[in-house]
Amino acid sequence: MKKPPDIESRRIAVIGGTLDGKSSMADGIARGYALTHGLRAIVFDPWKREEKPHDWGKFAWVTDDFDAFRRAVANTRGCVVVWDEGTSYGGRDRENIALFTAVRHRHPVMIFIGHNYSVMLPVMRESLSEVLLAKRTVEDATAWGNVFVDMEVRELAPRLEPYEFLHKRKHQPCRVLKHTPEELARGVML
C-alpha cells in the first residue's frame, strides 16, 4: 500500500514527563489520521499487558514485542507508526537508525514518545518535522529550540500548564495546544 498522495509526511516527537499526557496526545493524533484518512496504526506499547493498558483503538495493531514492531514497520506501508516509550526502548540505540529510516520511507506519519531531548540520537532528532513538548526545563527547551532554530521554544515550554503541549513545526511559529480527553478520543489533527 503506497502513501496516499494527500497526506504530508510527518515525523513527530511527543516529549514530556510522567503523567503529562504523552500517550494520550499521540493516540489522539493517530485517531485523527484513522478517522480523517483511514490510516491504520502500528503501535509499540511496552505497557500493553499492564493492569490498565492504554486503549489505542480498533484501527491500531499494538504489540509489546519490539522485534515484532520492527517487522511490522518493515513489512507494511502507509500507516501511522507510534513508538511509545522511546526513552527505554531504542531511541538511543544506533541499530534503530535503520528502523527510524524505514519508518520515514514506508509510512506517512511517525510519532515517537519520550521523556526529554536526550532520548533520541541526533540523526533522529534532525529528521523530525515537529515536536510536541509538555512543560520542560529551560535546558531541555533550549536544546529543542536549537534543533528547530527557534528560541521561542525556550521561552514558552517552561511556562506550560498541565496537559498543554507546545507544538513546534519546522519553519512555522510555535503554538500551544490543549485538548480535552474527549477531543483526543475523537481524534485530533495538528
Please write the tens of the pLDDT for every residue from 87-126.
777 766 788 888 888 888 899 999 999 999 999 999 889 9
pLDDT digits (tens, 9 = 90+) for 36-53: 999 999 999 998 877 778
pLDDT bin (cut points 50, 70, 90) of residue 6 is: low
Q: For 89-100, give the DSSP string.
A: TTTT-GGGHHHH
pLDDT bin (cut points 50, 70, 90) of residue 3 is: very low
Percent of the chain with pLDDT over 90: 74
- Burial string for 109-136 (b: 16+ CB within 10 Å, else e) reads bbbbbbbbbebbbeebbebbbbbbbbbb
Contact status, residue 93 vs residue 73, Cβ threshold 8 Å: no
**Which CATH number, 3.40.50.300, 1.10.357.10, 3.40.605.10, 1.10.10.60, labels domain 10-186?**
3.40.50.300
- Angle between helix axes 97-106 and 66-74 (nearest 10 degrees) is 40
